[in-house]
């Protein structure tokens, strides 16, 4: 810090919203809000001399996303530097201090939030780890979602707006933790290897019977390493993931086309329609013919898109 100048808020062009606590307590009873609700949110651009110390922590989790400049956060007597495309998540009731760096103070978007889902997100970081890298694409997505929240707060703290803000925050946290190439909570001990292109390769070849060797070769990995990384990143083995993609595509064809089961089986790489049907039932839970019948019945009983009396 520069001398003893310390500012908690009041920066030029800042955005700051705080939900009044009596209103917050009422809102938290709603089924769409008790799991995740923001309590405070804001944007501090070029926040020179920014400083905040909470010796007892805050009752909410705090997410700070740095988009420019430098700053720092101190937890458990350890100081963590922060630069653009980095975030810090401070768990509730955790003593901390944070502030802007010099001579290039940070620009940050931040939010305080509570709820059962909030606790889950805080648990995704390993013990004693509070920072995460954010790839530029995810940073851009997060900034857009933060701004959606700011615009929604212009409508005051009415229930409808708060539900929308909560759902937007769900999206924002999901992007940071599950669609962020620079971070994966399941790959803490190994170098990140992006398998997105290999997943796209599988989608482009649903009509084929790709072997595990062909998949690993596309990823330019040994078979054993490929299997391990793929399961860590998707929760499935490569072969099971490929089968699920095929069955997902088959579901779409059963719903929107009149193709026969034999034709659909052929389109997703199965010569034998009976074998295809067995795999489909194992994955989806019902045979393909029953699935098609259910979809047709659902469409038959679907409500009209508009009230004919109003047309």
pLDDT at residue 72 in the model: 95
pLDDT at residue 9 in the model: 74
Question: Tokens 């009230």 label which residue?
Answer: 307
CB 80 within 8 A of CB 89: no
pLDDT at residue 189 in the model: 40
Measured distance CA(38)–CA(22) in Å, rounded: 14
Task: Tell me the three-class secondary structure of 9-78, residue by residue.
Answer: CCCCCCEEEECCHHHHHHHCCCCCCCCCEEEEEEEECCCCCEEEEECCCCCCEEEEEEEECEEEEEECCE
Q: pLDDT per residue over 171-191, tens digit each?
A: 999 999 988 888 864 444 444
Taken in order of first residue, the domains within the chain and their CATH numbers are: 15-178 (2.60.120.280), 196-299 (1.10.10.60)
Helical (H) or strand (E) element with 90: strand 86-90
Task: Tell me the three-class secondary structure of 183-217, residue by residue.
Answer: CCCCCCCCCCCCCHHHHHHHHHCCCCCCCHHHHHH
Residue closest to 136 by CA, chosen among 206, 85, 203: 85
pLDDT at residue 298 in the model: 65
Tell me, rounded to whole angstroms, the distance of Cα 268 from its chain centroid.
30
Indicate the pTM of the whole model.
0.65
What is the residue-level pLDDT of the chain in tens, covering all 311 positions?
444 667 777 888 999 999 998 898 989 889 889 899 999 999 999 999 999 999 999 999 999 999 999 999 999 989 999 999 999 999 999 999 999 998 899 999 999 999 989 988 988 888 888 999 999 999 999 999 999 999 998 867 788 899 999 999 999 999 999 888 888 644 444 445 668 889 899 999 999 999 999 999 999 889 998 998 888 778 889 999 999 999 999 999 998 899 999 999 999 999 999 999 999 999 999 999 999 988 877 665 544 434 433 32
pLDDT at residue 154 in the model: 80
Q: pLDDT per residue over 24-75, tens digit each?
A: 898 988 988 989 999 999 999 999 999 999 999 999 999 999 999 999 999 9
Cβ neighbour number for residue 220 with a 10 Å cutoff: 9
């Amino acid at each position: 810090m520069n001398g003893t100048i310390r500012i908690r808020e009041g920066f030029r062009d800042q955005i700051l919203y705080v939900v009044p606590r009596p209103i917050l307590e009422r809102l938290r009873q709603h089924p769409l809000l008790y799991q995740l609700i923001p309590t405070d949110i804001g944007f501090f651009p070029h926040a020179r001399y920014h400083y905040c110390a909470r010796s007892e922590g805050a009752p909410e989790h705090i997410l700070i996303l740095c988009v420019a400049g430098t700053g720092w956060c101190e937890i458990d007597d350890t100081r963590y530097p922060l630069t653009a495309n980095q975030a810090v998540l401070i768990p509730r009731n955790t003593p901390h201090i944070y502030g802007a760096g010099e001579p290039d103070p940070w620009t940050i978007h931040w939010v305080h939030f509570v709820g059962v889902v909030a606790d889950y997100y805080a648990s995704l970081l390993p013990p004693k780890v509070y920072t995460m890298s954010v790839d530029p694409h995810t940073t851009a997505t997060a900034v857009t979602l933060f701004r959606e929240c700011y615009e929604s707060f212009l409508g005051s703290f009415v229930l409808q707006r708060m539900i929308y803000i909560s759902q937007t925050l769900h999206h924002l946290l999901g992007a940071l933790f599950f669609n962020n190439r620079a971070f994966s909570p399941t790959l803490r001990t190994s170098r990140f290897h992006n398998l997105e292109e290999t997943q796209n390769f599988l989608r482009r070849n649903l009509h084929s019977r790709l072997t595990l060797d062909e998949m690993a070769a596309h990823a330019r990995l040994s078979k054993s390493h490929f299997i391990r990384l793929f399961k860590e990143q998707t929760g499935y083995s490569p072969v099971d993931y490929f089968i699920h993609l095929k069955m997902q595509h088959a579901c779409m064809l059963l719903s929107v086309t009149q193709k026969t089961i034999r034709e659909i089986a052929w389109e997703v790489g199965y010569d034998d329609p009976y074998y295809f049907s067995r795999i489909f039932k194992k994955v989806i839970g019902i045979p393909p013919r029953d699935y098609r019948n259910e979809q047709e019945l659902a469409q038959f009983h679907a409500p009209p898109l508009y009230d004919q009396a109003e047309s």
